[in-house]
Amino acid sequence: MPIINKFIEFETKQGIDVYNITSQIETLISSISIQNGQVLVFSRHTTTALAINEYEERLLEDIKVFLEKLVPASNCYLHNDLHFRQNIPPDEPMNAHSHLMAMMLNNSEVIPIVDGKLGLGTYQSVLFFELDGPRQRTVFCQISGE
């Protein structure tokens, strides 16, 4: 069974934002010969997340509000006491809330490939959550099957 590794790279915007990366994954799958198998989609960052859900504007706003209520950026967090931490870069952000949000979500999803297409349901999309932007981000996709 072949295994193919691919990357999706993009620049994100300020703060919390949600990106639909379904079409980028579909493009990767259409460029290879695997017709049936699975794709592992993995975020390579500690302040991002992945989910499969509906990409609908009002729902996305609800998700952002929900996350901000659960983990407000304005709370006091030990991780944000930068003067107590060792070897941090001069531009280190105070982003404990972003790490905590990411821990509540997933950093990977496995999606079936059926007849050369993602086996998603009607309203399902692969969503990438930026929780600490703007940043350059990389999503790793490992495609396996036959």
Which CATH code fits 3-74+95-145? 2.60.120.460
CB crowding 119-144: b at 16 or more within 10 Å, else e: ebeeebbbbbbbbbbebebebebebe
pLDDT tops 90 at residue 16: yes
| Whole-structure pTM value | 0.94
Between CA 62 and CA 35 the distance in angstroms is 36
- In this prediction, residue 13 carries a pLDDT of 95
pLDDT tens, position by position, 101-143: 999 999 999 999 999 999 999 999 999 999 999 999 999 999 9
